[in-house]
Amino acid sequence: MLEITNLACSRGDRQLFTGLNFSLEPGSLLYVEGRNGTGKSTLLRTICGLFLADSGEILWNGESTQSLAEDYTKEVVYLGHHNGIKDDLTGLENLRISTVLDGDDVTEDQIWNALKKMGLKGFEDLPTKVLSQGQKRRVALARLLLNSSKLWILDEPFTALDVAAVDLLQSVIAEHINDGGIVILTTHQEVALTSGQIQRLELGKKKNKNV
Amino acid sequence: MRDLTLAMRRRTDVLTTLFFFIIVVSLFPLGAGTEKIILQKIAPGVAWVAALLASMLALERLFASDFADGTLEQMLLTPQPMFILVLGKVFAHWLLTGLPLVFIAPLVGLQYYLPNEAVGTMMLALLIGTPVLSLVGAIGAALTLGLRGGGILLSLLILPLYIPIMIYGAGVVSASAMGTTDLQAYFSILSGFLILALVLSPIATAAALRISVE
């Protein structure tokens, strides 16, 4: 369970948000909404620990994420604006490296399957620099399939994806939530859920509402 | 491991550093004349200055490409201790930029009429000294990450820190060329630098990376 209490962040001299409170139970999805520049990405980066908040606390299962350190990062997958893949390596190699670094025990077959599921059959062995934007995004998203982390933090995961891939990703997210995972994402697309609860957080307004 | 694979994909980067070293070293005999005594005298200094500049040249790229494509963020979010990851990256960097210099050192010896034992000493000194250069440089590279004109700032930050290594590194080669056999003290100091850098640099680098990624 993820709890945020009294979180405040600023970039430079600009206060992005203050007094942010919410908590997420296992099996829930949080949409972070708001206009450009309201601090959506900053909030996401703060939650995964890449950005230091001015004040407030982020608790994972009742413990501060900063004191948990590596025990917390094990539970988190973050996908930001950058795909986090190396252009000179093939999709296969990229995934192999990231799973090793994530400490997941993944077989070669599982990686092939993940790439196949993401619609990259036949492209596994090509350096990712020859792939299109959407295909690179798919390689990055294949990490989600190979990961055992509970908390997914996805910053605009649907950008550059075609309709089929958006559908696929939506079902992957829904499945993760069914399994008791937590997903936080910023997007304008709705994800069809079969179970679990959806929360919304709108940044840039005076009051935060939970639905 | 990952960085080594990457480097194999981009072989030119590695060769650039090596050729830079060779060319800088070769320029001096051309410029200063081929007089044996002069060359023997300046050889240790020239070799070390060239080694400093060559390792400097490659430093900028140590974290820059990872920073640009977001893989650095991912590394910070892995359950692996950043200390180990930094150590791994610096080790890979050294294998690709420091170690080749050690093997090319005999060529310098040949150009500068160095006696055989001095060449051996130089290789050993470079072997101990170049990892220190990579380790210390990594702190600077992490600090200047994502800054405009970071390359120049990096040189300003790091070159002064390289001075002690250069003094003792060049000193041991000079001493050896003059026929001194007792070089223990020099090597002890160089090894001391290495141990100190090995322990402290990854911690400092990891902290600097966290700041830079914000």
Smallest CA–CA distance, residue B211 to chain A, in Å, is: 9
Confidence tier at B132 by pLDDT (50, 70, 90): very high
The distance of Cα A98 from the centroid of its chain, to the nearest Å, equals 15
Whether the CB-CB separation of A138 and A161 falls below 8 Å is answered with: yes
Phi-psi region of B108 (alpha: psi -120 to 50; beta: other; left: phi over 0): alpha
Inter-chain residue contact A93 with B9, CB threshold 8 Å = no
Instruction: Encode pLDDT of A106-131 as tens digits.
Output: 788 888 888 888 888 888 788 888 88
Contacts of B80 in chain A (CB under 8 A): 70, 101, 103
ipTM above 0.85, yes or no: no
pLDDT at A208 over 60: no
Confidence tier at B1 by pLDDT (50, 70, 90): low
Nearest Cβ partner for A86 among B69, B78, B81: B69
Inter-chain residue contact A83 with B69, CB threshold 8 Å = yes
Residues of chain A with a CB closer than 8 angstroms to some CB in chain B: 48-52, 70-71, 73-74, 76-78, 80-89, 93, 97-98, 101-103, 127
Q: Residues B69, B73, B75, B76: what is their CA dihedral angle, to the nearest 10 degrees?
A: 160
Whether the CB-CB separation of B137 and B202 falls below 8 Å is answered with: no
pLDDT at A210 over 60: no
pLDDT at A202 over 80: no
Contacts of B73 in chain A (CB under 8 A): 50, 78, 80, 82, 84
Contacts of B5 in chain A (CB under 8 A): 89, 93
Please report which helix (H) or strand (E) contains residue B130, including its range. Answer: helix B116-143
Task: Answer with the residue of higher pLDDT: B174 or A202.
Answer: B174
pLDDT at A206 over 70: no
Work out the mean pLDDT of chain B and round it to a whole number. 82
Q: What is the pLDDT of residue B4?
A: 56
Task: Answer with the residue of higher pLDDT: B53 or B11.
Answer: B53
Inter-chain residue contact A85 with B69, CB threshold 8 Å = yes
Q: What is the pLDDT of residue B7?
A: 53
Averaged over B142-152, what is the pLDDT?
79
Chain B nearest-CA residue for A53:
B214
For chain B, the maximum distance between any two Cα atoms, rounded to a whole number of angstroms, is: 58
pLDDT at A187 over 80: no
pLDDT at A92 over 70: yes
Task: Answer with the residue of higher pLDDT: A93 or A152.
Answer: A152
Q: What is the pLDDT of residue A194?
A: 57
Instruction: Encode pLDDT of A68-80 as tens digits.
Output: 777 888 888 888 8
Inter-chain residue contact B9 with A88, CB threshold 8 Å = yes
Nearest Cβ partner for B73 among A74, A78, A97: A78
Which architecture, in CATH terms, is A1-75+149-211? Answer: 3-Layer(aba) Sandwich (3.40)
pLDDT at A7 over 60: yes
For residue B204, give the nearest of B152, B128, B143 by alpha carbon: B143
pLDDT at A209 over 50: no
Confidence tier at A207 by pLDDT (50, 70, 90): very low
pLDDT at A203 over 80: no
Contacts of A102 in chain B (CB under 8 A): 78-79
What is the percent of chain B with per-residue pLDDT over 90, rounded to a whole number? 6
Inter-chain residue contact A84 with B71, CB threshold 8 Å = yes
Tell me the β-bridge partners of A9.
Answer: A17
Averaged over B40-63, what is the pLDDT?
83
Q: What is the pLDDT of residue A166?
A: 84
> Which residues, at least 6 apart from A3, have a Cβ–Cβ distance to it below 8 Å?
A22, A23, A24, A57, A58, A59, A60, A62
Contacts of B69 in chain A (CB under 8 A): 82-87
Q: List the domain boundaries for chain A.
A: 1-75+149-211, 84-148
Work out the mean pLDDT of chain A and round it to a whole number. 81
Inter-chain residue contact B69 with A52, CB threshold 8 Å = no
CA distance readout (Å), A210 to A26, A31, A200, A206, B99: 16, 10, 6, 13, 58
Nearest Cβ partner for B80 among A88, A89, A103: A103
Averaged over A180-199, what is the pLDDT?
74
Confidence tier at A191 by pLDDT (50, 70, 90): low
